[in-house]
Amino acid sequence: MYAWQQIQKTIEIIEQHLDENLDIEFLSSEAALSPFYYQKLFKKLVKLSVMDYIKGRRLAIALEDLKTTNKKIINVALDHGFNSHENFTKCFKEAFHITPENYRKNPSAMNIITKPQ
């Protein structure tokens, strides 16, 4: 199996388990690669670190929830793998330069991380 196929395999795993705790050891073992080489290869192919990719995908899905549901922000955060409202708000603001509360009041197009093919 080619190395890019191993990375694609773990991207599928990540997508299926975004709301769960994912770590490098688990993902690298699924790819049958050392954690060091897995992270290096992932970054080379996806152009993001593994954890930045996971965080970005979680934020992209949370963004849609904020726009289309009336869930409390803490529930959106917890549903998408963030451990607290504060952590979610910090990550959201770093990524989109707006708080989740302000986005919900005035949703606009955002540059999100999509699943690579």
Give dist(CA 31, CA 9) in Å, integer: 7
Give dist(CA 82, CA 8) in Å, integer: 24
CATH of the domain at 9: 1.10.10.60
Q: Specify the pLDDT at position 1.
A: 59
Do 56 and 93 reside in the same domain of the chain?
yes
Yes or no: say if 95 and 56 are a contact pair by the CB < 8 Å rule. Answer: yes
C-alpha triplet 60, 85, 48: angle, nearest 5°: 35
Do 62 and 96 reside in the same domain of the chain?
yes
Q: Specify the pLDDT at position 96.
A: 93
Question: pLDDT tens digits, the chain, 117 residues: what are they?
Answer: 577 889 999 999 999 999 888 999 999 999 999 999 999 999 999 999 999 999 999 999 999 999 999 999 999 999 999 999 999 999 999 999 999 999 998 888 777 777 776
Q: Specify the pLDDT at position 100.
A: 96
Q: Residues 6 or more apart from 13 whose CB is under 8 A from it?
A: 22, 27, 30
Give dist(CA 107, CA 21) in Å, integer: 28
Total domain count, the chain: 2
Q: Specify the pLDDT at position 117.
A: 66
Q: Is residue 57 part of a domain?
A: yes
The whole domain housing 101 covers 52-105
Do 28 and 57 reside in the same domain of the chain?
no
Do 57 and 99 reside in the same domain of the chain?
yes
Q: Is residue 114 part of a domain?
A: no
Do 66 and 96 reside in the same domain of the chain?
yes
Q: Is residue 116 part of a domain?
A: no
Do 58 and 46 reside in the same domain of the chain?
no
